[in-house]
Chains A and B, each alone.
Chain A
């Protein structure tokens, strides 16, 4: 199984997530992670969808079928080595009195993670990185007792010199946030 990252640019409208996911459902492809947010262009959303698949051709067919959705402006499929990608994770770690002390120095320097919230008897640590880096950190923290752990979907950016937004159709007056 190879990991693929699919970036979908769409008009920002109700029901669009469903229109996209039914194509995955029909082809029985599981979505490993999903991130959606608005781009610098107003009214344009960017979906980053991670899937695993054995056959590249099938992923290409999937990409072409997503392109058929009327509100979809552009779709790009990538292998991991074609993109820079990251996720963000939050860990709630218990810090009871007399418990094992957290080595903040290691957490900061080695794992590049930061405490973002101090509770009375717990802290919340934020870590960005790839899935592997996050799970590495998970294993490091585990002896301290992880009360809660959450991981975001992937965000990714292509390694090509151009930005993907340049590929979007130009026949409309786009408004920009910046």
Chain B
């Protein structure tokens, strides 16, 4: 038995039976990270000392019978979550030396269960990117093929699960940043409904779109993680005060009477043939499992990417104004005056893509352009949301590809932002609609790269989405494959 190959659920059983201790599990993972991180570069910070202390505390709790679902389980978190006493860099030079003085709510919740945080994960700077190449700490490599990207922006989160460097990870998804890397790395990734998980303490990229979610090896683990982080938080005004259902209980495998919708706009030209084939095969599997497959339409899909890059960048231009060198973060040393200090600090602190988006967003909000860009985009967003609500009157969940292609090669799209942006074409609409969506493994390309299947659920109906995902996972073996290295 190799400890780091066990799922969260398997580790839980062994910790509860005292077959393994939290210290043994944590040690196994820290060793694994030490042995593999130079190849993957998925971690920005590993926290061996605090992790071992947390593992000891977890073992004491286990001995005392004080056991929560995540007690003693090794979890890594995207470096966008504030974690008390640890660097929280957002993969940016501007926060390179920033130590968070407080915990994000999601972190506080997993800590309350005595999970062990093994490290902070690489990402695209400020969650802006689809390849994890926009990081001040270097690109992350796809564990299935080091020449390929892991996807982004939660590239480190997806890669670390595929590479067995943590049993579960937390990421964030603003336009596909959990699902797309999950798809590219062959793991399960879930973006909850907007408002389901608190954003408090998560460094903001685009506030109306950002949502926290888990990346795991299988659907059961995903449900376990979602259970821990979901729920109303008075510190986040946009979190929704609605009961959190029992997600484990939703994993029945039963699909009787389930109606699955295929949005026709998602199967268009530009969709890679391997991806098309894998998704078609998954559709067939669902049919065999007893689900009814129905074609639906989401007519405003074509406008989603444009709409997203106006709203997300507008919000980002404002959210990132606080990095001004005044109170924390990078401050230019030789500035001549205030304006100069702002300009030099931000010029040195932000990477190219972040600057590009700040400029785009500033432009979209500028006097004289606001109506044509930002306001128009908000109207389109309403139409896109309505598309989903209409579709959900006919079906219980939607089935679609996650990304148009499997993981592309490192460097392939860095000089072509438009191509890069289009790789989020199937994931962005769920963020704009605010609904839940997830990616789960459904096949491999001829090159041997993983392909993900996207399920999009009704708002606040993660239960049905997880049930649908679990049934597929039970009927297939894709999630059991792991990269050889």
- Decide whether A and B assemble into one complex: no
Please report B residues at the A interface, Cβ cutoff 8 Å: none
